[in-house]
Structure 1
Amino acid sequence: MLNKTSRWAPCRGTAGLVVLVTGLALIAGSALWLALTSGGEIRYTSDHAGTRPMWHVWIPVLAGLVLTWLMPSPPRAAAVSGPSAGRALHLQAGVLLASAVVFAVALRLVTGGGHAPEPAYTILKVVLLLAVPMLLFRLTGRDAVQREAVRERPDVRHRSWHRYGPAVPVAAWIVLSQIGPFAQPSGEGDRTAGLDLVTLLIVMIVVFAVNALLEEVFYRRWLQTRWEHVIGPLPAVVLASLLFAAWHIGIHGTGHLPTDLATVFVNQGAQGLFLGFLWSRYRLMWPILTVHGVLNAGSVLLDML
């Protein structure tokens, strides 16, 4: 059950501190590496080899993080207590972590650092990010752990300023990342070019389900939530962000592993920090699905206007 007398702590124990410091150091070191080797330019889409300055990603993310911190949020639930729930949660955290690592490694091996071939990409994603967790939850009693680890306190669910508070940082991030000097360039050679409107909408719905919905459920709702109770919220945000970023070398890679890892850590890793912090603060799906959906389709939607 929830121990309502315990206090929320952003980092728990030595393991949490190690994960937090190491993860942030990896992102900072990656930025330094790219600044020295490529002038800070990063590949930003799998559709072509175009680049953009990495700080064009960071400025909207930093604005979103600051506003997320400043906006009111629901009271945080305390850590899980009770030996049975604790064992199940630790097992789930470990298996989900292993599944995320296997997904990133397998996708890199399949692609060799190039574009992910179908149907291998979709099969790997569905099996490792959906089928494995669902089997895990069935075997370990997902419902009991979900009540402890995922749901926010019922006495604050009805407060609209908690439910709609993330609209401010999400809107600010959208404006900064999609409009103006920091906006991602339109995808030249975009694979959606030439599609009629109905086909384009169907493609966008399928892409949203397979990418934004599945990834946010796995990396934030399932993986990050459980690791928050093991090592603390902030280390869990960083851990989930790095794992979320790592698999992108399978579709954004150039074949040079150090550069590819550095690129995804400062690009998708930074974006993952914003997504993870939104989830940690609010425990609401709509803000992270909105941000992820815009990440995947924002330039296409703007081109349609």
Structure 2
Amino acid sequence: MLGRAALVACAAIALASLATVLVALPGGAPTSADPGAPAVAWWVVLLPAVAGIALALVLPRRAAAMPAIVTDARRLHASTAVLLACAVALPVLSGALSLAGGEGYVLAKVVLVMLVPGIAVAVLGGVRIHRVRGAWRWWAPAVVVVVWTLLSQVAPWNPAHDLSGVDPVLLVVAASATAVTAGLGEELLFRRWLQTRLEAALGAWPGIALASLAFALMHLGSHATGSPVLDVARVVVAQGSFGLLMGVLWWRHRSLVAIVAAHVVSNGWAVAAHLLG
């Protein structure tokens, strides 16, 4: 019952957010906080995620289930509470202390996305994943990530970032820090650790939905523009749809390599294209 209520609530928030951005920002909006980030049409934002989710659900056609299983309910609840607290603390502290875009934000992410959650998971545990073997566990998510990359980064409808005025050394340093704290850290926190526990406690789809919503709202710390309702709607549609794809990939294939690779591509493709071009 609780899982169904959570799923309905997440769906309602997603639909309300989509309606809000379509009305308030019909031409699209920047989906990145990076300098030179262009406005992106909403269909361009959503198409890769929708296509990726569809592929993840059908590849392979007969994938064995790998459910998250509760091993200790009290430890599960305690570790989940710590992870959720960290997910909430990051945007709150970032906004209160104006950390976005600076070294303080990177440090806060290291502590709240990787260090504290990692210690909590190592000490408390509370859940395990029933894993199965099979070649499909690497080739199926690889196909999904490649198709998503083609649609979200390579296809001609994707607008280019203008990074011409940014120091190349700064770009490399910033991209490297983002790859670690976002590409690896966020996938560990929101998928490997948090979603797995929410799946075990509430069911697969409620767990995916709640972790994706938490992932989206975390971006308020770096993507806020001063309009709370519109900011929430923007991150739910843009970052939430990407988080939903990563969540489905993690649930279906339990491949941390695949979701980290996709996240690194999402954040670093524009920088790599600029430097190599």
Report what 1:122 is aligned to.
106
Report what 1:282 is aligned to.
253
Cα deviation digits, residues 171-211 of structure 1 (max 9, x gap): 1111111122442x2222467x3426xx7555533321122
RMSD: 2.2
| 1:24 is the counterpart of 2:11 | yes
Shift in CA distance, 34/190, structure 1 to aligned 2, threshold 3 Å? farther
Alignment of structure 1 residues 124-163 onto 2, 5 Å: 124-140=108-124, 142=125, 145=126, 148-150=127-129, 152-153=130-131, 156-157=132-133, 159-163=134-138
Tell me how far apart the structure 1 counterparts of residues 95 and 172 of structure 2 sit (CA, whole Å). 29
Cα deviation digits, residues 245-278 of structure 1 (max 9, x gap): 1121222221111111110000000110001100
Tell me how far apart the structure 2 counterparts of residues 190 and 69 of structure 1 sit (CA, whole Å). 39
Is the 8 Å Cα contact of residues 43 and 263 (structure 1) preserved in structure 2? Answer: no
Structure 1 gaps, min length 5: 1-13
Report what 1:86 is aligned to.
73
Of 224, 237, 250 in structure 2, the residue corresponding to residue 253 of structure 1 is 224
Shift in CA distance, 265/172, structure 1 to aligned 2, threshold 3 Å? same
Is the 8 Å Cα contact of residues 66 and 251 (structure 2) preserved in structure 1? Answer: no
Shift in CA distance, 273/190, structure 1 to aligned 2, threshold 3 Å? farther
Tell me how far apart the structure 1 counterparts of residues 122 and 136 of structure 2 sit (CA, whole Å). 35
Report what 2:97 is aligned to.
110
Alignment of structure 1 residues 112-261 onto 2, 5 Å: 116-140=100-124, 142=125, 145=126, 148-150=127-129, 152-153=130-131, 156-157=132-133, 159-183=134-158, 185-189=159-163, 193-195=166-168, 201=172, 203-261=174-232
Cα deviation digits, residues 218-254 of structure 1 (max 9, x gap): 1110111111001111111111111111121222221
Structure whose alpha-carbon radius of gyration is higher: 1
Counterpart AA for 2:162: E
Q: TM-score, normalised by structure 1?
A: 0.82
Is the 8 Å Cα contact of residues 38 and 160 (structure 2) preserved in structure 1? Answer: no
Which secondary structure state, in structure 1, belongs to the residue aligned with residue 155 of structure 2?
A: coil
Q: CA deviation at 1:22?
A: 0.9
Q: CA deviation at 1:70?
A: 0.7
Counterpart AA for 1:27: A
Which secondary structure state, in structure 2, belongs to the residue aligned with residue 76 of structure 1?
A: coil
Report what 1:76 is aligned to.
65
Tell me how far apart the structure 2 counterparts of residues 286 and 265 of structure 1 sit (CA, whole Å). 24
Q: CA deviation at 1:110?
A: 2.6
Report what 2:268 is aligned to.
297
Tell me how far apart the structure 2 counterparts of residues 139 and 180 of structure 1 sit (CA, whole Å). 44
Is the 8 Å Cα contact of residues 43 and 51 (structure 1) preserved in structure 2? Answer: yes
| 1:33 is the counterpart of 2:6 | no
Q: TM-score, normalised by structure 2?
A: 0.90
Is the 8 Å Cα contact of residues 217 and 232 (structure 2) preserved in structure 1? Answer: yes
- Post-superposition, which runs of at least 4 consecutive aligned residues in structure 1 deviate over 4 A? 199-203
